[in-house]
């Protein structure tokens, strides 16, 4: 069977006040063109269709039209919710989606609803474990929903995800193409540059070992850079179909086409997608910036000039598509650096922490006391 794997559309994204709607329309049109040319049996959209949990109406129109166009190519279409999506709101679209032949799993539900089945036009059967994004707070409730034991429910986020996937994989067949899609951060993978850090670090990363070896292919979303992840089965991030923020301007925009059978390993091809409006970072003095040919790109500009009133306006007059204008950090000395170093000399960690809370307006004796207690425990452990 053939699979088209895409994710992280982030429709509704506004970059420094500039709507990306036209860029998203162009990206999804290119995606549909690939689907028409490649004729996949299954399209997987691995989360983050939207950039926010409350997308504007035009974003919903772009997404629903894009999904409908993918379905019209003849492929089955499966969508899961990501951390930027409102899972319940996505699930509210299920009556429309079901009528259109599109399967949506926006939020976590009973395991029997997350193990999907299908058959290609050539008669090949597939099963797909579709795991939407699971927050840490929801992980315990998810464990209860999946009837995991009390000991399993008390484990870390990574253990929760492993338990959920193991439960879903119990439904895999010996004579079916077994697939997984999820919206996760896997340890060892590289961030694309525009992800939400709170949901990529701080306990949200899981090892590749959470995926069972019985899976023929794992289609991941969440990290915006296309990449392979080493693990017990083929694991891949397809990346975003367009750069979401300036930190992603060097990313390769593509879609993954996967050919796999029950008896052969997944073969993956990256099909590049054109970017309607590139993102570009430029640097230089006003004189140097005036000589640049930046085409249609949206720009982040680092100006090699001393700060002065009206500098931003001068830059934007030279480069009308400059969305972000900053002074080159090399020209910004840190005059307080020496003062801070001197102030810290000979002072304890507790004193520095207390000063920090005071500067932030959060001075609290109980918090300082707890810091001292934790600091002492760490020091004793080291000794």
User: Span 54-59, mean pLDDT?
Assistant: 95
User: Which whole-number Å values give the CA distances from 279 to 76, 285, 295, 343, in the listed order?
Assistant: 33, 20, 11, 42
> pLDDT tens digits, residue range 107-154?
999 899 999 999 999 999 999 999 999 887 666 555 555 555 544 444
pLDDT for 222 equals: 94
Query: CA 104 to CA 137: how far, in whole Å?
Result: 22
| Composition of the chain by helix, strand, coil, percent to 5 | 35, 25, 40
Query: CA 309 to CA 307: how far, in whole Å?
Result: 7
What is the CA angle 376-382-383, rounded to 5? 90
State how beta strands 205-206 and 177-183 pair.
unpaired
pLDDT for 92 equals: 95
In terms of average pLDDT, the best of 18-27, 202-211, 334-343 is: 18-27
pLDDT score of 242 more than 70: yes
Angle 157-169/136-145 helices, nearest 10 degrees?
Answer: 40
pLDDT score of 170 more than 80: yes
Burial class from Cβ neighbours inside 10 Å (0-12, 13-18, 19+) for residue 122 reads exposed
- Helices (DSSP H) in the chain: which residue ranges? 21-38, 57-72, 87-91, 94-100, 111-114, 136-145, 150-153, 157-169, 286-289, 311-318, 337-344, 349-359, 365-382
User: Span 155-168, mean pLDDT?
Assistant: 87
Least confident span in 43-52, 307-316, 348-357: 348-357
Dihedral angle sign, alpha carbons of residues 270, 45, 182, 2: negative
pLDDT score of 322 more than 90: yes
Least confident span in 239-243, 262-266, 303-307: 303-307
Map tokens 């950090």 to a residue. Answer: 329
> pLDDT tens digits, residue range 271-290?
999 999 999 999 999 999 99
Query: CA 140 to CA 51: how far, in whole Å?
Result: 26
User: Which whole-number Å values give the CA distances from 31 to 21, 36, 51, 66, 95, in the listed order?
Assistant: 15, 9, 18, 9, 24
pLDDT score of 345 more than 70: no
User: Span 160-185, mean pLDDT?
Assistant: 95
pLDDT score of 197 more than 70: no
Token digits of residue 107: 């939020």
Average pLDDT, the chain: 87
Residues 6 or more apart from 372 whose CB is under 8 A from it? 350
Strand partners, 327: 303
pLDDT score of 359 more than 70: no
Residue 17: which region, alpha, beta or left (left: phi > 0; alpha: psi -120 to 50)?
left
Q: Between 277 and 357, whose confidence is greater?
A: 277
- Reported as a pLDDT band with limits 50, 70 and 90, residue 372 is confident
Residues 6 or more apart from 357 whose CB is under 8 A from it? 363, 364, 367, 368
Contact in structure between 255 and 271 (CB atoms under 8 Å): yes
Q: Between 198 and 309, whose confidence is greater?
A: 309
Query: CA 290 to CA 318: how far, in whole Å?
Result: 6
pLDDT for 153 equals: 46
- Reported as a pLDDT band with limits 50, 70 and 90, residue 247 is confident
């Amino acid at each position: 069977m053939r699979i088209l794997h895409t994710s992280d559309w982030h429709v509704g994204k506004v970059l420094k006040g500039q709507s990306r709607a036209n860029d998203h329309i162009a990206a999804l049109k290119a995606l549909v063109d690939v689907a028409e040319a490649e004729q996949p049996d299954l399209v997987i959209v691995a989360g983050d269709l939207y950039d926010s949990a409350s997308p504007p109406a035009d974003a919903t129109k772009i997404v629903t039209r894009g999904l409908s166009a993918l379905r019209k190519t003849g492929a089955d279409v499966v969508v899961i919710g990501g951390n930027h999506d409102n899972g319940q709101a996505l699930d509210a679209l299920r009556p429309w989606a079901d009528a259109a032949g599109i399967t949506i799993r926006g939020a976590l539900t009973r395991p029997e609803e997350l193990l999907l089945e299908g058959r290609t036009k050539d008669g090949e059967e597939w099963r797909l474990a579709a795991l939407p994004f699971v927050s840490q707070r929801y992980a315990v409730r998810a464990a209860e929903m999946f009837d995991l034991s009390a000991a399993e429910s008390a484990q870390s986020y990574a253990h929760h995800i492993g338990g959920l996937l193991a439960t879903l994989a119990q439904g895999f067949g010996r004579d079916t193409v077994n697939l997984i899609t999820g919206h996760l951060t896997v340890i060892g993978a590289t961030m694309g540059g525009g992800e939400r850090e709170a949901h990529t670090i701080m306990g949200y990363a899981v090892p590749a070992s959470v995926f069972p070896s019985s899976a023929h292919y794992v289609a991941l979303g969440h990290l915006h850079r296309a990449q392979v992840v080493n693990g017990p089965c083929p694991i891949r991030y397809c990346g975003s179909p367009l750069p979401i923020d300036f930190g992603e301007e060097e990313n390769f925009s593509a879609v993954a086409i996967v050919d796999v059978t029950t008896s052969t390993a997944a073969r993956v091809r990256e099909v590049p997608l054109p970017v309607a409006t590139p993102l570009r970072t430029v640097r230089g003095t006003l004189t140097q910036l005036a000589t640049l040919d930046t085409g249609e790109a949206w720009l982040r500009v680092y100006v090699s000039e001393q700060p002065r009133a009206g500098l931003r306006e001068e830059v934007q007059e030279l480069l009308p598509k400059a969305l972000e204008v900053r002074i080159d950090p090399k020209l910004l000395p840190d005059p307080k650096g020496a003062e801070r170093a001197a102030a810290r000399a000979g002072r304890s960690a507790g004193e520095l922490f207390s000063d920090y809370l005071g500067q932030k307006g959060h001075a609290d004796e109980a918090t300082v006391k707890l810091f001292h207690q934790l600091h002492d425990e760490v020091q004793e452990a080291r000794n």
